[in-house]
Amino acid sequence: MNAIAGKHIVLGLTGGIACYKAAEFCRALVKAGASVQVVMTQAAEQFITPVTMQALSNRPVYSSQWDVRADNNMAHINLSREADAIVVAPCSADFIARLAHGAADDLLALMCLARPVERVPLLLAPAMNREMWAHPATQRNLVQVQQDGAVVLGVGSGDQACGETGDGRMLEPQELLEEAGAFFQPKLLAGQQMLVTAGPTFEAIDPVRGITNHSSGKMGFAIARAAREAGAEVTLVAGPVSLPTPRGVRRIDVVSAQNMYDAVIPLARDASIFVAAAAVADWRPDRAAQEKIKKDGSGATPTLGFAENPDILATVAQSERARSGALYCVGFAAESHDLLVHATAKRARKGVPLLVGNIGPATFGQDDNALLLVDAHGHSELARASKRVLAQQLVAEIAARRSSTRSEE
Ligand code: C5P
């Protein structure tokens, strides 16, 4: 469930072609369970009509501070006090400039200024031409509004309505919904540095062939995203997968187990939580051929010898940092049978405080799963759900265990 559900959002629209995306964003907010009060500037009304926004939000739209519909004639006070957040999408360069100066010359600017800053956050989704975005005045104003407490969502990069290409695009409606939801997630991992491995590894036989494990990377990517939404700084070391990087997550792509080991070991020195969700190959061909191994027509088959890969999780879990309690390690297990027995044994063998088992049947590539959690106190289950929801639940479980480990130190 998106954390925006049940929130009351004032959605401000300012002048820009991205207003057409605000209609979709408004719809997405309502569908996600938020109530939405739309406020438009006069410039926004040049791009999209209040009628459209009223139909999508199920509420009358406000655009003037002189609107006689407000009993006490103080729409700017009434509307801003009721809100859980004011989200301005699209937010024009001009509106950012006006905010930076504390202007109060129309209803939306008045509301932003009159809102109780501590209680009603202000989220801005800028949308403008790339030159306007890059202009020192805009960048200066952005710094100022952020210092004054505003949160900036985006910007995106790519083709612009004016025909140019670059930074300044408003985030897509679904991205905005995610960002707004993430803003309301409890910050259970604030101040934590999380390192996550995800996906399979690929061990070369020759330049065109290799061996690998089944793994879509979906669970590890969902954990990285949930951890970032819970306030952690997240680095994701990913094997070969075709998944988009979760917003705000630093991603390092690797291919083999040795590559993953080489990336993880230095990063683990700064991490406070390590989640090893990757399906790392246990063995690699002992000698990868430099050239493609050719069929010679005789029916003879090549013989492969294997070497053991380094165990990334066990190495990290045995480091001084992990043993001192400064780094909390979480391992994963995918088993074909006797999950509890194997997961319990694996937890001890790897030396990790928490071992998470994938409850069968095999969930490779699927969007849902169920998890078995094994720790020093026994075991419990997270019931079948989407990997997104499971990742959020797992992050909460890790945060609770992490804080209890720290309070025992
Ligand atoms: O050793 P096994 O593959 O059974 O254990 C699985 C757990 O260990 C997972 O958390 C996986 O990411 C991690 N692992 C690792 N390095 C390896 C093998 C597994 O980090 N070489």
Q: What is the pLDDT of residue 336?
A: 77
CA–CA gap between residue 104 and residue 115 (Å, rounded):
12
116: CATH: 3.40.50.1950
Residue with the nearest Cα to atom 2 of ligand 1? 333
Q: What is the pLDDT of residue 348?
A: 95
Q: Indicate the residue among 163, 184, 205 that finishes a domain.
A: 184
The binding-site residues of ligand 1, defined as CB within 6 angstroms of any ligand atom, are 197, 257, 276, 278, 280, 282, 309, 311-313, 331-333, 346
- Domain membership flag for residue 103: yes
Tally the C-alpha atoms within 13 A of residue 266's C-alpha that lie toward its C-beta: 4
Neighbours of 351 (CB within 10 A): 15
210: CATH: 3.40.50.10300
Residue with the nearest Cα to atom 17 of ligand 1? 311
Residues 383 and 278 in one domain: yes
Locate tokens 């690929």: which residue? 202
Mean pLDDT for back-to-back runs of 10 residues, the chain (409 residues): 91 97 98 97 97 97 87 77 95 98 95 94 96 96 95 87 87 93 92 98 97 94 96 97 91 98 98 97 95 91 95 97 96 89 95 92 77 96 91 96 68
Residues 168 and 204 in one domain: no
Residues 106 and 239 in one domain: no
Residues 241 and 390 in one domain: yes
Grouping H, G, I as helix, E, B as strand and the rest as coil, residue 316 is: helix
Taking alpha carbons only, the member of 225, 17, 25, 24 closest to residue 123 is: 25
Tokens of 117: 């800053």
Classify strands 306-308 and 283-285 as parallel, antiparallel or unpaired: antiparallel
The Å distance, Cα 241 to ligand 1 centre, comes to: 17
Q: Indicate the residue among 184, 211, 235 that finishes a domain.
A: 184
Give the ligand 1 atom nearest the CA of 264.
Answer: 20
Amino acid at 236: L
Residues 264 and 146 in one domain: no
- Domain membership flag for residue 177: yes
Q: Indicate the residue among 184, 202, 225 that finishes a domain.
A: 184
What's the total number of domains in the chain? 2
Q: Evaluate whether 339 touches 285 at the Cβ level (below 8 Å).
A: no
Residue with the nearest Cα to atom 4 of ligand 1? 333
Q: How far is CA 177 from CA 52, 184, 185, in A?
A: 19, 11, 12
Identified catalytic residue from 19, 26, 112, 162: 162
Residues 333 and 371 in one domain: yes
Residues 309 and 387 in one domain: yes
Residues 23 and 118 in one domain: yes
Choosing from 283, 311, 339, 346 the residue with most ligand 1 atoms within 8 A of its CB, the one to mutate for a pocket test is 311
Q: What is the pLDDT of residue 365?
A: 74
The Å distance, Cα 333 to ligand 1 centre, comes to: 7
Residues 175 and 223 in one domain: no
pTM: 0.82
* 91 classed as catalytic: no
Choosing from 197, 236, 313 the residue with most ligand 1 atoms within 8 A of its CB, the one to mutate for a pocket test is 313
Residue with the nearest Cα to atom 13 of ligand 1? 313
Note the Cα 401 to chain centre separation in Å: 22
Residues 121 and 48 in one domain: yes
Residues 240 and 384 in one domain: yes
CA–CA gap between residue 281 and residue 204 (Å, rounded):
11
Tokens of 18: 């991205």
Q: Tens digit of pLDDT for each residue in 254-269?
A: 999 999 999 999 999 9
DSSP state of 75: H
Q: In this structure, which long-range contacts are made by residues 251-255, counting pairs with CB atoms below 8 Å and at least 24 apart in sequence?
A: 254/201, 255/201, 255/202, 255/204
Q: Evaluate whether 325 touches 409 at the Cβ level (below 8 Å).
A: yes
- Domain membership flag for residue 203: yes
Q: What is the pLDDT of residue 376?
A: 94
The Å distance, Cα 190 to ligand 1 centre, comes to: 27
Tabulate helix, strand, coil % of the chain (nearest 5). Answer: 35, 25, 40
Q: Tens digit of pLDDT for each residue in 186-212?
A: 999 999 999 999 999 999 999 999 999
Which range marks the domain in which residue 313 is found?
193-289+304-408
The Å distance, Cα 202 to ligand 1 centre, comes to: 14
